[in-house]
Structure 1
Amino acid sequence: MLCIEGETLVPGSLAALPRLVTLARSETQALEMAGAIVCSAMTDDQGEPMFVEHPDAIAELRELVDQRLQTRPADYIWGFRTLLAIEGQFHWSATFGDFSDDFYEVACPHCSLDVTIAIGGYGCYSAYRDWDAGDVDRRDLRPASVAELDGMGRWMYNLAVRDGQDQLAAGITYLMGRAECPRCASVFHIAGEYAAANLPPLLSVRLARSKIG
């Protein structure tokens, strides 16, 4: 076993990636294994060298996963999360769901309250979570309009729309929208606060280096 998605890579994972990608052209299991390695990469010390040493394999893996997504497979969200990892969006890759029942925790940037963000069948709202009373003082989320989407948010939305994933596309507009804090009533950008608090350590270092350069 070279890797279990979301867990530490084992010795040999990095070196095996190009061979797995070659096999992935015709073998689904190899594609899934290669994807698991990439999804685990930035939580492990081996992660950063993999992107530097095997750019061709990473590029081909991206193409193979994208081709699979266009067939609209039953495990669509697996491929979507794998593409997010390949694009360096490891914080989203680790937590992204299909918005049937998604919850995110963010700290209000103004009063530091831990705010629960719900997007799915239970509603689209921000709230304070009380483990006895449930989600208290719910406030409706303010989804981003399609025109407001940019950067990675627009990329994710366009991918979901292209592949007919309407629920996923709608959820992305809420995730890239704004929430109201149930304590101080301030309004903040959901994705920005979540991403700032959840970048993997290696990715944080990588971004810092790019800014210095």
Structure 2
Amino acid sequence: MVNWARAYDWFFETDRVPELLERLERGDDAGTWAELAHRLVLEADLVSPAGFAALPQLVRLAAHSAEARILSGKILERAAGHHDCDDLLAQCADAIAEFRELLDQHLRSRPSDYLAAFRALLAVEEQYHWAAVLGDFTDDFYAVGCPHCAAEVTIAIGDHGRYSAIRDWHQGDVNRRPLRPAPVDGLSGIGRLMYDTALRDGKDALVDGVLHLFGGAQCPSCGSVFSVADEYASAHRPALR
């Protein structure tokens, strides 16, 4: 049973979110979804206590509602932020496991919102840094620090190429070096999960992008080679409580 007395939303109210959820149980309504999202999450990577309190009910709705899937994903993408609601989040363990299975089945259907669902799956796996930035690899850029000389290196994976470079605001990306995609048998952990899921679902651009993201890059400044994913994750992975 949810203790709504302490689960305030971003208007510091505790009674409006249960009312909105009850309304959505009776049928989808765009205005209701918009208000609920506004009360539960902020674009500044923050989620209200009411967001975690609402998550189990949202997951139940998510099997038949794209809005519920999207909002559940947004809540979990912010779960690593400063919310002081670890106990409320812990109570969502069963709902999160259910959401993972739901997302897996949804991805198998190759839906139009595939990328949003894929990112939500990464959040479920507590890969918050990837959930926040992963694109469709048509125009993806990642800034990483070279672990050997500390140069700021731009990683491009998209229609304009797959390369490492030094970004010059007047000349663009200069001193480009081609990325070195990871061998499939060298993938493990989250990289392997991302690759296997995209391959299973026939998402060729995502498959290729993941191989380059988890591959190697040469620093244009010092010439050393480093792992793109390792360096990005080490700089952006949140410290889990």
Identity %: 51
Distance 1:66 1:6 in 2: 27
Could you tell me which residue of structure 2 aligns to residue 178 of structure 1?
Answer: 216
Cα 1:169–1:41 change in 2 (3 A) is same
Residue number in structure 1 paired with 2:136: 98
Report the CA distance between 1:3 and its aligned residue: 1.9
Q: SS where residue 106 of structure 1 aligns?
A: strand
Tell me the secondary structure at the aligned position of residue 80 of structure 2: helix
1:164 counterpart (193, 196, 202): 202
1: distance between equivalents of 2:197 and 2:141? 22
CA distance in 2, matches of 1:80, 1:49: 26
Q: Give the direction of change, closer, same or farther, for the CA distance of 1:91–1:150 in structure 2 (3 Å limit).
A: same
Stretches of structure 1 lacking an aligned partner (at least 5 in a row): 207-213
Is the 8 Å Cα contact of residues 80 and 240 (structure 2) preserved in structure 1?
A: no
The change in CA–CA distance for 1:89 and 1:8 in structure 2 (over 3 A counts) is: same
Of the candidates 21, 27, 52, which is equivalent to residue 90 of structure 2?
52
Amino acid at match of 2:151: L
Among 18, 40, 55, the alignment partner of 2:56 is 18
Letter in 2 for 1:63: E
- 1:210 maps to which residue? none
Q: Residue 42 of structure 1: SS of its match in structure 2?
A: coil
Q: Which amino acid is the alignment partner of residue 193 of structure 2?
A: W
Q: C-alpha root-mean-square deviation of aligned residues, in Å?
A: 1.4
Give distance in 1, aligned partners of 2:66 and 2:170: 44
Shift of residue 78, structure 1, vs aligned partner: 0.3
Give the corresponding residue for 1:151: 189
- Give CA deviations for 1:147-180 in whole Å, capped at 9, x if unaligned: 1111111111000001100110011000000000
Distance 2:90 2:160 in 1: 42
Greater C-alpha Rg:
2
Amino acid at match of 1:9: V
Q: Any residues of structure 2 matched to 1:1-213 within 5 Å, and which?
A: 1=36, 2-4=40-42, 7-46=45-84, 48-200=86-238, 204-206=239-241
SS in 1 for 2:79: helix
Shift of 1:84: 0.3
Quick one: distance in 1 between partners of 2:80 and 2:86? Answer: 7
Residue 51 of structure 1, CA deviation: 4.1
Q: How far apart are residue 7 of structure 1 and its match?
A: 2.8
The letter for the 2-side match of 1:146 is V
What SS class does the counterpart of residue 137 from structure 1 fall into? strand
TM-score, normalised with respect to structure 1: 0.90
Tell me the distance in 1 between the aligned counterparts of 2:198 and 2:43: 22
Find the residue that maps to 2:202 and give its secondary structure: coil
Contact 1:104 1:117 in 2 (8 A): yes
Q: 1:12 & 1:157 partners in 2: Cα distance?
A: 34
Distance 1:38 1:47, change over 3 A: farther
Deviation at 1:69, TM superposition (A): 0.8
Aligned residues: 203
Q: TM-score, normalised by structure 2?
A: 0.80
User: Tell me, which stretches of 5 or more residues in structure 2 are unaligned?
Assistant: 1-35
Equivalence for 1:209: none
